[in-house]
Amino acid sequence: MDLPPIGLEPWQKVAQAIDDVDLGPGWSGFLDSARRVAAAGVPTHVPADSVWCLVAAMVAITGGDAAPWARTLARLAGHARCLECGLVYSIADLIDERGDAGPIDPASVPAETLADGVAGFRPAPGRVLTPAALGAQVRWRVAGGPVDALAALGDRAVLAAGPAGTTAWEVVSGGPALSAMPGPAVSVCVADDSVIVTATPDGALLGWEASTAKPLGHAVRRGGTPVRSLAAVLVPDDLDQRAVSWLSQLRGRRVLAVGDAGGGVELWEPLAGRPHVELFRQADRSVVDLTALDFVDQWPWTGSDLIVLYGDTVVDVWVSAAVQGDRSTMVPDSASLAAIGHEHIVGAVVAPRRLGHRAPVLLADRNGTVSMWETFGVRLNEPLPPDPHHRDVVGIAALPFDRSIAVVTVSSTDRTLRIWEVARGSASLVPLDVHPRCVTVVGQTIVIGHDAGLLAIDIEAVSPFARSGS
């Protein structure tokens, strides 16, 4: 593409501003393409990739909090790897429509500008994570034994499961909400509005009345592979008529997904003595977490997407609205996850708000990396990089914050809570005086399960004057 020199109105000032800005290493190719497009007066035949370069540059030079948005746009340009041959080409060459453009040595390509073909570009260059003016205020504490799993009981109480049994606590006051449910438990789930299910260390499932904590019948799934996680899954009422028969029988019902130490995922009735079906099994892995994304008031999507984690970079997704009942083939793949820093994904959480078309899912790595995804394999936003003072992350939760969301992770080794303001691209690290084992959110309150009970805290803004001691 042969562009004329600078001088065409009204883009002269834009091109000059882009030419004058310095955004650090890795940006020169983006900015050069942007300047040339502006210098040409943005002709109608300019390829879309070069227009994205211009848009990103125009956002970046406005200053303030614009850099994160510019980096997101800049991910749409850079270098691309051919999905068929694996060779890497410069998008700048493609923009210029150079007939003699040849592949580039991948070793010479900045990793942050290399597209992975599925999840978009790696985090764009020049990123500096700004501190968030956020802190945490203790709401209440409950002393007791270790807590290994948490679950929200509506918006008023939290369920805490551990070796000593399962208890329920009012989230506002920290007082008991129900009688204790005896027996050791490694996972707990509110299967529907009327039933609480706990899983014992040997793999049995126990049902409890949600309003009274009274036991419901006998334990089921006795002698099975040890359970690692539970999740409630909604099968849509308007399920496609072509769906397989076993899935059609569950139309309009909420069932229990059970993930076990043998890599298997089953669907159970909360009080039934046998599973409906084994959805799938990763024979060489152990399930570490199940998370259900319910599409309530998110038309045209219905039912639930079940996200399955194994403690590595493998992510499975089962869609209850699918016709065949098989695992989805469109998921965040291992290569895309590894490219942005994931190594051992230990937890997932659904965003409490729709961010765009749907509520996305956030994945937390043991090393502190957090990324945001559509369950069909498209990455959103830039990932949160690790923090050297926030290692061995054991859980993730999210809550509404301002007009977006805040994401929290907890570290067992460093005894810290990390708060990520997604919309602003900022993070804050809060020291804790407990060793976290798990975390959840009920309403606006963060509840942490630890070695000796529960800790409930609220996020609060920290005044810059208070931080400076004024």
Model pLDDT for residues 220-236, shown as the tens digit of each residue: 887 678 999 999 999 99
Under the banding of pLDDT at 50, 70 and 90, the label for residue 125 is low
Instruction: Say yes or no to pLDDT of 37 above 70.
Output: yes
Lowest mean pLDDT among 143-157, 162-176, 347-361: 347-361
% of the chain beyond a pLDDT of 90: 49
Instruction: Say yes or no to pLDDT of 169 above 90.
Output: yes
Rounded to an integer, the average pLDDT of 70-76 is 68
Euclidean distance between CA atoms 329 and 91, whole angstroms: 28
User: How much is the pLDDT for 26?
Assistant: 61
Kindly report the number of other CB atoms within 10 A of residue 216's CB atom: 15
User: How much is the pLDDT for 25?
Assistant: 60
Please give the residue that has the higher pLDDT: either 185 or 24. Answer: 185
Average pLDDT, the chain: 85
Backbone angles phi, psi at 358, to 5 degrees: -140, 170
User: How much is the pLDDT for 464?
Assistant: 47
pTM: 0.79
- Give the model confidence (pLDDT) of 447-456 as tens digits: 999 999 999 9
Under the banding of pLDDT at 50, 70 and 90, the label for residue 423 is confident
- Give the model confidence (pLDDT) of 50-63 as tens digits: 787 888 888 888 87
Half-sphere exposure of 139 toward its Cβ, with a 13 Å CA cutoff?
A: 21
Give 44's contacts (C-beta < 8 A, 6+ positions apart): none
Instruction: Say yes or no to pLDDT of 35 above 70.
Output: yes
Instruction: Say yes or no to pLDDT of 18 above 70.
Output: yes
Alpha-carbon separation of residue 156 from 170, 176, 184 (angstroms) = 6, 11, 24
User: How much is the pLDDT for 66?
Assistant: 73
Provide the token pair at 397: 């939760």
Strand partners, 400: 405
Under the banding of pLDDT at 50, 70 and 90, the label for residue 67 is low
User: How much is the pLDDT for 467?
Assistant: 39
Under the banding of pLDDT at 50, 70 and 90, the label for residue 102 is confident
Instruction: Say yes or no to pLDDT of 4 above 90.
Output: no
Nearest-CA neighbor of 319 among 296, 340, 297, 293?
A: 293
Provide the token pair at 104: 């580039």
Instruction: Say yes or no to pLDDT of 208 above 90.
Output: yes
Instruction: Say yes or no to pLDDT of 150 above 90.
Output: yes
Instruction: Say yes or no to pLDDT of 78 above 50.
Output: yes
Nearest-CA neighbor of 120 among 426, 367, 363, 373?
A: 373
Rounded to an integer, the average pLDDT of 57-82 is 73
Euclidean distance between CA atoms 154 and 172, whole angstroms: 13
SS3 annotation, the chain: CCCCCCCCCCCHHHHHHHHHCCCCCCCHHHHHHHHHHHHCCCCCCCCHHHHHHHHHHHHHCCCHHHHHHHHHHHCCCCEEECCCCCCEEEHHHHHHCCCCCCCECHHHCCHHHEECCCCCECCCCCCCCEECCEEEEEEEEEECCCCCEEEEECCCEEEEEECCEEEEEECCCCCECCCCECCCCCEEEECCCCEEEEECCCCCEEEEECCCCCECCCCECCCCCCEEEEEEEECCCCCCCCCCHHHHCCCCCEEEEEEECCCEEEEECCCCCCEEEEEEECCCCCCCEEEEEECCCCCCCCCEEEEEECCCCCEEEEECCCCCCCECCCCCCHHHHHHCCCCCEEEEEECCCCCCCCCCEEEEECCCCEEEECCCCCEEEEEECCCCCCCCEEEEEEEEECCEEEEEEEECCCCEEEEEECCCCEEEEEECCCCEEEEEEECCEEEEEECCEEEEEEEEECCHHHHHCC
Nearest-CA neighbor of 171 among 330, 470, 408, 399?
A: 399
Instruction: Say yes or no to pLDDT of 396 above 70.
Output: yes
Under the banding of pLDDT at 50, 70 and 90, the label for residue 470 is very low
Euclidean distance between CA atoms 455 and 226, whole angstroms: 28
Please give the residue that has the higher pLDDT: either 250 or 94. Answer: 250
Provide the token pair at 229: 């996680």
Rounded to an integer, the average pLDDT of 327-354 is 91
Half-sphere exposure of 44 toward its Cβ, with a 13 Å CA cutoff?
A: 0
Give 463's contacts (C-beta < 8 A, 6+ positions apart): 133
Rounded to an integer, the average pLDDT of 43-54 is 76
Under the banding of pLDDT at 50, 70 and 90, the label for residue 286 is very high
